[in-house]
Amino acid sequence: MDVRDLSDEELYAKYGDRLVRFAATVVGPSLAEDVVVDGVMSALRSRRWTTVDDRVGYLYRCVLNAGRMELRSAARRRRREERAGVRPVAQAATGPELLIAPEVRDAIETLSPRQRAVVFLTYWEDLDERAVAHRLHISVGSVRQHLHRAKQKIGRQLDASV
């Protein structure tokens, strides 16, 4: 059945699992669930949702934006705490984060949200550059650039951890 013929619920049933993995790559497993709910809801509430051509891409972008918001809020919170002289709590892995090896977590954390999105779509979903660009609504050149920088950052991080 064509994606366009699916109801919202059917669409979510088909892509929900991928979206939550996508979100886990962008914000980490512990926040992934909330970010997916936020992102999918913002898509469904959008006036454009009923007319959008690429509903799957739209969902991914909404989840990515929800993830970026979440990370941005966390950064603001950190800055406020630093300004207030609050000693940062040691970043201990909790819950689902425990499933991730520390060196992997460190490597992912060096990437920007968009770079995380690009590497997920490239290496987990096995999309080519053009498909990634289409899904994230960016140019193919940007995809290449994000991928290149992501590899550089991960390479540096892995190199440093050896």
Partner 1 sequence: MPASEPMATDDQVRELVWHVADAAPIAPTWDRIAAGDPAPAGRRPRRGFELALVAAVVALVVVGVIALRRSGDEQPADQPPAPTSTVATETVPLAGLGAFQAVDAALCLTRRNARLVSEHDLTGLVGADDLPGFDTERAVLFGYRPMALVWAVATSHPDLGPGDADSLAPLVDAYRTADASAFAGPEASIGPGFPALVDEVATSFGSYVDTVVDPAVCQPQAPSAAAARDEAVCIAAVRLRRLLDERGTTGLPADDALIDAAGAAFRLWWETTPDRIEQLASDLASAMSAPADERDLAPLIDAIDADLLPDGTCVVPPDGQPVAQSTGGQP
97-136: contacts with partner 1 (CB under 8 A): 97, 99-101, 104-105, 107-108, 112-114, 119-120, 123-124
Minimum distance from residue 56 beta carbon to partner 1 (Å) = 13
Size of the site for partner 1 (CB under 8 A): 74
CA pair distance 11, 136, nearest whole angstrom: 18
**How many other C-beta atoms lie within 10 A of the C-beta of residue 69?**
16
What's the min distance (Å) between Cβ of 69 and partner 1? 5
CA–centroid distance for 126 within its chain? 16
- Specify burial of residue 72 (Cβ count, 10 A radius: 0-12, 13-18, 19+): exposed
Q: Among all chains, which residue has been given the structure tokens 């966390």?
A: 74
Binding mask 54-93 for partner 1 (x = CB under 8 A): ----x--xx--xx-xx-xx--x------------------
Taking CB under 8 A as the criterion, the residue among 54, 57, 131, 145 binding partner 1 is: 145
Residue from the set 77, 78, 130, 156 that interacts with partner 1 by CB under 8 A: 156
**Which residues have CB under 8 Å from 59's CB, separation 6+?**
11, 15, 19, 39, 40, 43
Footprint of partner 1 on 6-25 (CB under 8 A): 9, 12-13, 16-17, 19-25
Residue in 102, 130, 137, 161 binding partner 1, rule: CB under 8 A: 137
Contact 91, 102 (CB under 8 A): no
